[in-house]
Amino acid sequence: MTQPEYSQPGHSQPAQDGQPQHWLEGILDILHEAVEGGAPGEGTAFLDGTAADGSGNNGLIATLDALSAAQASTEIHGTSIAGHARHSALHMEVVVRWERGGDRGPFDWKGSFHPADVDDEAWDDLRVRLRAAYDALCAFARTQKEGEATGDATGSMTGAVAHVAYHLGAIRQMVKGLA
């Protein structure tokens, strides 16, 4: 089995010198899988695996990148994929704001699904925003690595993973409705 690439923001290094993996790196590995998909040709924790040639990536970014602005704007069950992507980006941004500076809102969670329609430029911008929010969350999380594993830290990070995974699942079901 080949070793995965660890250059990506959410993907961590394996444990060194027989030491167990740091709890935060384990959480970031799962977040990486949800957002970026599995490492090509390797097993995954919960997504269908990415083939050795890179095809079949079922992470959030690859799922969104496969869609046009028109597809992302299609209303399915009262919302759109673009709305879910925007909401997911906001959630990752809020986790960092909450943990870094204590920004407790209020946050317009319902409004974060709008606008539901995007043109090509807005779709590109939204995917860049989502990627930037993910990168910022991973970078911030790593600044907390030396700190104590508090309920706030573990709750924020596991909540981010659960939230992204939920919306990834919702989006992947919506993609089926586009066919």
How far are the Cα atoms of 8, 33, 141, 150, 177 from residue 146, in angstroms, in the given order? 20, 23, 10, 12, 44
Highest mean pLDDT among 14-23, 45-54, 118-127, 151-160: 118-127
Q: Report whether pLDDT(11) > 80.
A: no
Q: Report whether pLDDT(1) > 70.
A: no
**What pLDDT does residue 61 have?**
97
Report the mean per-residue pLDDT for the chain: 88
Q: Which of 74, 71, 80 is nearest to 113 (CA)?
A: 80
3-state helix, strand, coil in the chain (%, to 5): 55, 0, 40
Judge whether 90 and 107 are in contact, CB under 8 Å.
yes
Amino acid, res. 18 = G
Q: What is the mean pLDDT of residues 150-159?
A: 86
pTM above 0.85, yes or no: yes
Q: Report whether pLDDT(2) > 50.
A: no
Structure tokens at 87: 């909401």
**What pLDDT does residue 64 have?**
98
